[in-house]
Amino acid sequence: MRFTKAYPIVLVATAAIALTACQSRRDRQQELAYVERPVEQLYNQASTELDKRSYDKAVLLFNEVERQHPYSEWARRAMVMTAFAHYQARNYDEAIDGARRYLSLHPGGSEADYAYYLIAVSYFDQITDVGRDQAITEQARDALMDVVRRYPDSQYARDANVKLDMVRDQLAGKDMEVGRWYLRNNQTLAAIKRFRTVVKKYDTTSHTPEALHRLVEAYLTVGLRDQALAVGSTLGYNYPNSDWYKMSYRLLTEEGVDPEAVDEKTRRSWLQRILPDGK
């Protein structure tokens, strides 16, 4: 089966205003006219249009493979390639629907791993900045995890794992943004909840050192010195050279406590109370 590399956006010129509705109808009828052709010829023509970035034509021709040769192996392949052509054209909803249609009809098909991956990257490519709703990001995470779970040794799983790291960082960034907002607006307990989520769920992301520091700030704000000391010592233990630890160290020493004086047993005991399964 031939899958081509990713292409950049194709800018499609709009039709001239003078084009009549009658002409449009004739064009559509001509495109959809049934002309029986050998399956290899149809499939190769569709692939050629895909290589030329003529995605609409490629979709029509791959669909024609299905229509004229519905029980052939080529039809099954064409179904996935239709979804791929939609993805290349950035018609992500159509790509997802097409991949899911393939999986519903051929759940154990040889292209199933790619169909799952195509769903995942279709969500992934729609991820927006952390200032917006992250529902798509969560869907991308779930779909990428599905690829890794189902096909752990595939090339798609390797790429999915890379993308999962990026997705987790994005979701952690959203929690950090909300937590900072709560902290600025004196909603300290709500801020603590967000920062704890980052530490517990996204501890391998780039946001963890700041989340620990913000917890130190928040716990000191509400007078919970032991909790602040436990988190500050954890920050120093894991990120001793970070600027976030330097800021936390300064805050704690101003409160008369030394995070470096906390032994490992005490640190873990405190963390079990404030961060179940804590580091």
Q: pLDDT (tens digit, 9 = 90+) per residue, 81-128?
A: 999 999 999 999 999 999 999 999 999 889 999 999 999 999 999 998
The answer to whether the beta carbons of residues 262 and 248 sit under 8 Å apart is: no
d(CA 134, CA 143): 14
pTM of the model as a whole? 0.76
Between CA 23 and CA 100 the distance in angstroms is: 35
Provide the H-helix boundaries in the chain: 21-31, 39-51, 55-68, 73-88, 92-105, 112-124, 135-150, 155-184, 188-201, 208-221, 225-238, 243-254, 264-274
CA nearest neighbour of 255 among 274, 229, 278: 229
171: tokens are: 């979701």
CA distance 90 to 125: 9
What would the two tokens of residue 40 be?
A: 């290899």
pLDDT of residue 34: 59
**Which domains does the chain carry?**
21-126 (1.25.40.10), 176-274 (1.25.40.10)
In this prediction, residue 65 carries a pLDDT of: 87
21 and 37 Cβ atoms separated by less than 8 Å: no
User: What's the pLDDT at 132?
Assistant: 80
Using CA atoms, how far apart are residues 238 and 3, in angstroms rounded to an integer?
A: 44
Rounded distance between C-alpha atoms, residue 74 and residue 71, angstroms: 8
- In order of 26, 108, 219, the CA distances from 255 in angstroms are 80, 62, 12
* Region of residue 149 (left: phi > 0; alpha: psi -120 to 50; beta: else): alpha
pLDDT digit of tens for each residue in the chain (279 aa)?
A: 444 333 332 323 323 323 333 444 444 334 545 567 777 888 888 899 999 999 999 999 999 988 888 888 898 999 999 999 999 999 999 999 999 999 999 998 899 999 999 999 999 999 988 778 889 999 999 999 999 999 999 999 999 999 999 999 999 999 999 999 999 999 999 999 999 999 999 989 999 999 999 999 999 999 998 889 889 988 988 899 999 999 999 999 998 877 777 777 776 766 666 665 544
pLDDT for res 157: 95
Each residue's pLDDT tens digit, 131-163? 788 899 999 999 999 999 999 999 999 999 999
CB-based burial of residue 14 (10 Å sphere; 0-12 exposed, 13-18 middle, 19+ buried)?
Answer: exposed
C-alpha torsion 253→255→257→259, nearest 10: -60
